[in-house]
Amino acid sequence: MYTVKNLCFSYDGKKVLDNVSFSIEQGKLTTIIGPNGSGKTTLLNLITGQLSKYNGEIYFQNKLLESYGVKELSQKIAVISQNVDIRFPFTCMEVVMMGRSPFKSRMKQLSKNDLDVVVRCMEMTETIKFSDTPITDLSGGEKQRVMMAKALAQTPQILFLDEAFSNMDIKYTIKFLNLLRKMIKEENLTVISIMHDLNLTDLFSDRILALKDGKVVKYGKTEQTVTPQLIKDLFGVHIRKNEEKGLVILPTI
């Protein structure tokens, strides 16, 4: 689905990604982990076409990423970024409706089908009650739920999440991770996420891509990849792995 070969990227001469190569499988939840500043968001921005001027190759569905137009790419991928940066007081329904814009012609209204998708996604994310509320009036976690509704309304083949649950409480985080697992199973959705919560990463991910200092340290199946040694190498933190319940993070460094 995605193949990245020898990807290198610098900001103003400062190298941030160094010879990164991997392939993402369809119908899996892959989580990118690594310390602050290791290059996770930069990598995500590159493979979603939000950053350019890299060295190396990025293939999406066997075509070079740079050969896709913005509209074509937006019909296939949706991205939820780290921060919700909407300063204009659009109503929440207007924001979720923007998720349908890759599918409509310029100047045309949304179709009945588009509106049905919007309402369904707002119901799934429990944001329908905010339909007429300006997004600027919501809390951080509520805004993230609206952004989740907008991303789902895009009906993507691949959903990218950059710490998309960072402001959500544990109930909604688990609700959405379960919803994504269901969509992966039933609709063959592919999810690529960045998460700092190692317990949830371990419980919900199929594959782990571990980055440190802009290099891939490890990439593979979660159960084989998330080991106490990897977490020690990445973060300098000790963990114990409980075979039944996942990770136990120990507060000694």
Ligand X SMILES: Nc1ncnc2c1ncn2[C@@H]1O[C@H](COP(=O)(O)OP(=O)(O)OP(=O)(O)O)[C@@H](O)[C@H]1O
Report the interface residues with ligand X, using CB under 6 A: 11, 16, 34, 36-42
Give the nearer residue to ligand X in terms of CB position, either 44 or 118: 44
Contact 209, 40 (CB under 8 A): no
CA–CA separation, 129 vs 126, rounded Å?
7
Query: What are residue 171's phi and psi, to 5 degrees?
Result: -60, -50
Residue in 229, 231, 227 with CA at minimum distance from that of residue 243: 227
Structure tokens at 124: 């799934």
Q: Considering beta carbons, is residue 124 or 210 the nearer one to ligand X? A: 210
- Residue 165 beta carbon to ligand X: minimum distance, rounded to whole angstroms: 14
Per-position DSSP letters for 27-92, written without gaps between them: T-EEEEE--TTSSHHHHHHHHTTS----EEEEEETTEEGGGS-HHHHHTTEEEE-SS----S--BH
Minimum CB separation of residue 200 from ligand X in Å reads 15
The first and second tokens of residue 208, run together, are 């782990």
What DSSP character marks residue 99? T
Q: Between 94 and 213, whose beta carbon lies closer to ligand X?
A: 213
In this complex, which beta carbon is closest to ligand X, that of residue 40 or of residue 150? 40
In the bound complex, what is the minimum distance in angstroms from residue 205's beta carbon to ligand X?
A: 17
Q: How far is the CB of 194 from ligand X (least distance, A)?
A: 7
CB of 100 to ligand X, least distance (A): 29
36 or 229: CB nearest ligand X? 36
